[in-house]
Amino acid sequence: MASISRSHIFIFLLSALLFLLYIRFPALLAMHRTETAPLHNCDLPAKDIIPDSYIVYLWPGTTLAQHKAALLPNIDLDRAIDHVMAPILDGGGILYRATLDETALDAVRGDRDHVQLVECNRLKQPSAMGVDL
């Protein structure tokens, strides 16, 4: 009969624990991916998009100060942000509108610990009633 070493038991138990955490709390792993935050609505016709204007959605529980600190000293958001919105729904995150050049946009999208997604700002916003404006 083959003997099982303590290191094999440890690796098995650690793997089982990580699997159980993933099954129970998949959002824990999804929140800290290494790729950049997704970019939405930028494939609309150019006439419908405000150039270099973006809506940034922060993860629930993230403060704007945390996000700003993660980008310093390379990107200073204070001059870029022109409007901040409190969470719309319970459990939602903060949103802000900013004018970002390509370098700043890449940095913001790269802050996956704080940024859920980025959306190109549109000239025509969909209405709450579903009627095209």
What pLDDT band is residue 90 in, cutting at 50, 70 and 90? confident
- The full set of domain ranges for the chain reads 1-30, 36-122
- Which residues are bridge partners to 39 per DSSP? 118
Check if CATH label 3.30.70.80 holds for domain 36-122. Answer: yes
Percent of the chain with pLDDT over 70: 77
- Neighbouring C-beta atoms of residue 105, cutoff 10 Å: 20
More confident site: 23 or 94: 94
Q: Is the pLDDT of residue 29 over 90?
A: no
Residue 59 is predicted with a pLDDT of: 93
Under 8 Å between Cβ of 122 and 48: yes
Name the average pLDDT for the chain. Answer: 82
Helix or strand holding residue 23 (H, E): helix 6-24
